[in-house]
Structure 1
Amino acid sequence: MAGTANRAGARRADPPFALMPWVFAGGMLGAPARYAVESALPGVDGGFPVATFTVNVVGAFVLGLVLESLALAGPDAGIRKRLRLLIGTGFLGAFTTYSSFAVEINLLTTSDRMGVAAAYAASSLVVGLVSVALGIGAAHTARRRSEGVA
């Protein structure tokens, strides 16, 4: 149920706080998922931060896929809005991490690992952009297939 109707029958937007549980629920799942990836891919001091790179690249792909799929399905209202908040803002907001990315670049540069820092920064940006584009493309492919178009 997206909002309520006023006397003229027009829909009013949901109060922002009414939608917070969706963000909260997604975050409760995204943060432990990131922790699981970090535990599975422990870093090496002064080395390439594989875990953060992985969560950010995977998160970029999933964000492109989910947001484009929702946009193709219709307006940002009702269940689509709630799914965007649950998955995009909540889960992926907690799963991905710009703050760790920035701290890791700082740590690498202050420990004279400029080459690793530059490679990490550049590859994160390039691969992240490619990943989101691939996610958007995957959403379009899935949409065409669901409509019976090759």
Structure 2
Amino acid sequence: MTRSPHLDPRLVAVVAVGGAVGTAARWTLTQTVGTAPSGWPTATFVENLLGSFLLGALLEALLRRGEESGRGTVVRLGAGTGVLGGFTTFSSLAIEMERLLAAGQVTLALVYGALSVVLGLLACVAGVALAARHHRWRHERLRLPDEAP
């Protein structure tokens, strides 16, 4: 009987290290991009969209590899749950929406929240589509000339 991933200290450590990497990357991007003069939380918006795209691409790529191996579990938990979980920050989205609402910028808060969710979903779908396309391209490129399509 194998141990459940959330009870395996090695996998918990993989997630923790990945989370630290993702959080450091988010902090760096936040310091670099910041907030627009209009009050639009640009850094969080970019972080969440980029993270959604990358998570979609990662999970599709792992899915296309077939049944999950031990290495696949480490990649999924380390890069997906850890790095991208630490990089994306939907809790900051909620705080920033609250701050915009408290400042009386109701329209900006609602547009920011709606665009974050809708574009985040579309970014994830785009990541899935790109990974699927790459998989098909790679499969076609590696096919021998005498194989039937």
Q: Structure 2-normalised TM-score?
A: 0.87
In structure 2, which of residues 79, 87, 95 is the aligned counterpart of residue 103 of structure 1?
95
Identify the match of residue 54 of structure 1 among 43, 46, 55: 46
Q: CA deviation at 1:27?
A: 1.1
| Cα offset, 1:42, TM superposition | 1.6
Match of 2:133 among 120, 141, 144: 141
Aligned to 1:40: 32
In structure 2, what residue type is equivalent to 1:12? T
- Who is 2:23 aligned against? 31
What amino acid maps onto 2:66 in structure 1?
G
Q: Which runs of 5+ in 1 are unaligned?
A: 1-10
Higher helix share: 2
**Among 65, 78, 84, which residue is 1:86 paired with?**
78
What are the ranges of 5 or more consecutive residues in structure 2 without an aligned counterpart?
142-149
TM-score computed with the length of structure 1 as normaliser:
0.87
Please tell me the root mean square deviation across aligned C-alpha atoms, in Å.
1.7
* 1:115 counterpart = 2:107: yes
Q: How high is the sequence identity, in percent, across the aligned residues?
A: 34
SS in 2 for 1:60: helix
Please tell me whether residue 12 in structure 1 is matched to residue 8 in structure 2: no
Runs of 4+ in 1 over 4 A off after TM superposition: none
Look up the equivalent residue of 1:139 and give its one-letter code.
Answer: A
Which moved further from structure 2: 12-21 or 111-120? Answer: 12-21
